Amino acid sequence: MKFGTKTIHAGQQADPTTGAIMTPIYQTSTYIQNTPGDHKGYEYSRTGNPTRSSLEQNLASLENGKFGLCFGSGLAAIDAIIKLLSPGDEVISTNDLYGGTYRIFTKIFENYGIKFHFIGMKKPKEIECLINKNTKMLWAETPTNPMLNIIDITALSEISKQYNLTFVVDNTFATPYLQRPLDLGADIVMHSLTKYMAGHSDVVMGAVICKDETLAEKMYFIQNSCGAVPGPMDSFLVLRGIKTLHLRMQRHCENGEIIANFLKDHPKIDNVYWPGFKTHPNHEIAKKQMDDFGGMISFNIKGNKLDDAITVVSNMHYFSLAESLGGVESLCGHPASMTHAAIPKKEREKTGVVDSLIRLSIGVEDVSDLINDLKQSLEKL
């Protein structure tokens, strides 16, 4: 199957009892057994649920993986992945990453004896100086949140293989429509399905996808033992959302390109961060590993005043001021006080998350309305 067929059909068959074309919501916690152990493949819904299984198979197929596992949120998926590690182990992570990921690493897992190093990964070779005998995992987000840096997945996977590290890519911003990290050598892909994958801002969920059976068995063990699984209704919503992933992503990318170019030429704007620009430091890598450049854009305002950023985000009509991203509706956010508030000011400023930075999640509305909205809001400055 090609990608646009997989989104609609992978992991899904018409219901054998009724012929229902949509995967039913199996709202059940348990399943009848004829004699102990004699059942139809399901025993208890923490361990497995048919609606969730359909979604898990669909995700594995979209990422060209073999195994998919869903969790109650993106952070629950991250939590499960880090539980592959033991006290004393070390992780090398991108320094420009979602604030909640930084928080779970530093405020939760450091208490359990796991050590995290944060480094810009624009030049992969620089990572090697942090690798020692305790290093077990490499963690990358690409494009990064919110600076839209691009990390070379193939180069990192070569390093991870050389040093026998588990290489995890958070593919939330790109989705498998734009980028398939497992094909480029990553061991694990994780998602906040809450974003583009579900696509309609109506569900919170996460996922882990891999190819290796031993790794998958460990992840299933953690999923079942720790139990942070999503319910069948939410699994249904994500399955339904994914059916239009390719159509939505195409429009997110088209609108993104038009808006990035509009912002670049605006006299009140300083820098625009979008990997599609030829001047973007890793544009060539983006072209190599992504099929298009996505609908996430960040920019900062000339003079770098916090109040200016607040004025702009508070005066938009179609860009709703809200946490999150990747829904059909456009959103704007102020990372320094919202998504990245968990990262200390000194630390976030090193990566470019300055006070006037604004992050846009470009929706699939009519792009001329979006441009007019940005224009009128910037005129308030």
Ligand X SMILES: Cc1ncc(COP(=O)(O)O)c(C=O)c1O
Among 45, 61, 101, 142, binds ligand X (CB under 6 A): 101
3 state SS of 193: coil
355 is catalytic: no
Give the separation between CA 134 and CA 271, rounded to whole angstroms. Answer: 39
Active-site residue identified among 6, 52, 136, 195: 195
Binding to ligand X in span 212-271, by CB under 6 A: none
In terms of C-beta density within 10 A (0-12 exposed, 13-18 middle, 19 or more buried), how is residue 328 classed?
A: middle
Q: In the bound complex, what is the minimum distance in angstroms from residue 72's beta carbon to ligand X?
A: 8
Report whether 363 contacts 297 (CB < 8 A): no
Per-residue x/- mask for ligand X, residues 32 to 71, rule CB under 6 A?
A: ----------------------------------------
195 is catalytic: yes
Active-site residue identified among 26, 98, 102, 196: 98
Q: In the bound complex, what is the minimum distance in angstroms from residue 163's beta carbon to ligand X?
A: 24
DSSP H/E element including 169: strand 166-170
Residue with tokens 């912002």: 263
26 is catalytic: no
Among 49, 53, 58, 73, binds ligand X (CB under 6 A): 73
Note whether 362 binds ligand X by CB under 6 A: no
DSSP per-residue letters across 66-83: SEEEEESSHHHHHHHHHT
Q: In the bound complex, what is the minimum distance in angstroms from residue 191's beta carbon to ligand X?
A: 8
Give the separation between CA 185 and CA 262, rounded to whole angstroms. Answer: 36
Active-site residue identified among 170, 292, 308, 355: 170
Report whether 178 contacts 292 (CB < 8 A): yes
Strand 135-141 vs strand 166-170: parallel, antiparallel, or unpaired?
parallel
Q: Phi-psi category of 190—alpha, beta or left, where left has phi over 0 and alpha has psi -120 to 50?
A: beta
Note whether 109 binds ligand X by CB under 6 A: no
Q: Which window, 73-81, 119-127, 158-166, 273-281, contacts ligand X (CB under 6 A)?
A: 73-81
Note whether 206 binds ligand X by CB under 6 A: yes
Q: Which window, 50-58, 96-104, 122-130, 308-316, contacts ligand X (CB under 6 A)?
A: 96-104
Note whether 141 binds ligand X by CB under 6 A: yes
Note whether 149 binds ligand X by CB under 6 A: no
Determine how many CB atoms are found less than 10 A away from the CB of residue 18: 8
% helix / strand / coil in the chain, to the nearest 5? 40, 15, 45
38 is catalytic: no
Note whether 194 binds ligand X by CB under 6 A: yes
| Contact set with ligand X (CB under 6 A) | 73-75, 98, 100-101, 141, 145, 170, 172-173, 192, 194, 204, 206
The catalytic residue positions are 46, 98, 170, 195
